[in-house]
Amino acid sequence: MAQTQIRIGGFGGQGVILSGIIIGRGAAIHGGLHATLIQSFGPEARGSSSSAELIVADEPILYPYVKDVDMLVVLSQDAYARFTPALKKGGLLVTEADLVSLTPPVPEARHFVVPATRLAEEIGRKIVLNIITVGFFGAVSQLIPREALEKAVKESVPPGTLDLNLKAFRKGYEVGLEQLAKVQAPA
């Protein structure tokens, strides 16, 4: 791996920034990699545009800004419209099943759909949709070891919510592995 540029987009209140922090922490602190994180959100925060940009590499990162997106995770239609033009041909695209429609489509992407909202509702708290998405992303990207991401979740969520968040992470990872297996299965 030389360098992998990742962007996560959504709206304030979806946990986009925390998702970026967890992925970066998993990579840099527990995964033995280098990582940078830049976050952006509107002045209103909740409900406005929000994004996290990460670079993950196996050597020091000299320029922390994402220019050409290798992996894109979008949790809102606005983020989809805004960020898909920067996704490299053949890049990884993860979209939330209930919140993002693929218009216009991105035919050159390796596309995975995470039913994060539905899974969060099944678990009992919609607020964990970002942690489900982190688990799903970890599984389909295979960029950062599962154990490293799980340790980062443990260190990043409020103490009273640890069990709920670990359940969410594990569910997202499991669903991601199922989707990855379908894509990799011989025809």
pLDDT tens, residue by residue, 82-114: 999 999 999 999 999 999 998 877 888 999 999
Domain ranges of the chain: 3-184
pTM: 0.93
Q: Please say whether the structural domain 3-184 has been given the CATH code 1.10.3470.10.
A: no
- Tracing tokens 């429609």 back to the chain, one arrives at 101
pLDDT tens, residue by residue, 9-68: 998 889 999 999 999 999 999 999 999 999 886 654 555 788 999 999 999 999 989 999
Q: What is the mean pLDDT of residues 71-90?
A: 94
- E-strand stretches of the chain: 3-11, 34-41, 49-57, 69-74, 87-96, 110-114
pLDDT for position 46: 57
Q: What percent of the chain has pLDDT over 90?
A: 80
pLDDT for position 131: 97
Least confidently predicted of 117-121, 153-157, 181-185: 181-185
pLDDT for position 187: 58
Per the prediction, the chain carries an average pLDDT of 92
Q: Is the dihedral of CA 48, 39, 154, 111 positive or negative?
A: positive
Residue 152 gets the label, from left (phi > 0), alpha (psi -120 to 50) or beta, of alpha
